[in-house]
A = this chain, B = another copy of it.
């Protein structure tokens, strides 16, 4: 039976859960799981419902509009695999993990294509019969390069872009085309170690933990809403290359967990932060 997800966010007021579940109840729907959260000081309300039944999407949205304030955001979708495109540069580790999981239906998504500014990963991607597009950025202005990528993306109409170690900074105008739909994996425990050579910095500082952060991409580099952070212990025996390897391992885990949450529609964004209903 099809499963549906309702996502509502609005200013908080008395009776919201009652009013929203009333619409679902009157439609004869069966709620499987329901989550709410109120940001107390900011007075924001968030709710996620999963339900099954004979769903008339338009009728439900109309009735919700009747009981909720005009500023409320309402999203009602049938749960299905997300259509995604992965952008990479040269590193294989996150991509490899996602290709295997895609092959065995473990990420609630379908990888439509992989796009890279280098040709290195084509041999890996082609093993899995997934289209690989090599779009070099060399000798091109950033906007020109992004336009070439966009043309490819547009032929697929993806729900999400996944930056699985894509080492180019995206322009604000590109990002704005995929608002809250680009997920990145960052090589550190943000906000530590932004900037270049993070593992050299970490090595010199003698840290005892290496982190990774998966976040939504916004116009501000490394400043988007954080979805997941993972860490791994290191010690004085780790040289820079060992820290890099540890970093790769923890990046795989952080990105994989973040994508699962996003692709199951469990993540709200509010004030540059995430609210996650696990």
A interface residues (Cβ-Cβ under 8 A, vs B) = 14-15, 17-18, 21-22, 24-25, 28-38, 40-41, 92-93, 96-97, 99-100, 103-104, 106, 124, 127-128, 189-193, 205-209, 211, 225-229, 231, 235-237, 239, 245, 253, 271-276, 278
From residue A24, how far is it (CB to closest CB) to chain B in Å? 7
Chain copies in the assembled complex: 4
Q: Is the CB of A191 within 8 A of B192?
A: yes
Nearest residue (CB) in B for A129 is B127
Contacting A274 at CB < 8 Å: which of B24, B231, B236?
Answer: B236
Look across to chain B and name the residue whose beta carbon is closest to the beta carbon of A192: B192
Q: Contact between B231 and A275 (Cβ–Cβ < 8 Å)?
A: no
Do B192 and A205 touch (CB < 8 A)? Answer: no
| C-alpha gap A239/B29 in the complex (Å) | 22
A236 x B273 contact (CB < 8 A): yes
Q: Would you list 25 pairs from A and B whose C-beta atoms are within 8 A, ordered by A residue?
A: A14-B25, A14-B30, A17-B21, A17-B31, A17-B34, A22-B22, A31-B38, A33-B38, A92-B100, A92-B103, A93-B104, A96-B103, A96-B104, A97-B97, A100-B100, A189-B209, A191-B192, A191-B193, A205-B273, A206-B273, A207-B229, A235-B276, A236-B274, A236-B275, A236-B276
Q: Which residue of B lies closest to A28 (CB)?
A: B14
Within 8 Å CB of A189, what residues of B? 189, 192, 209, 211
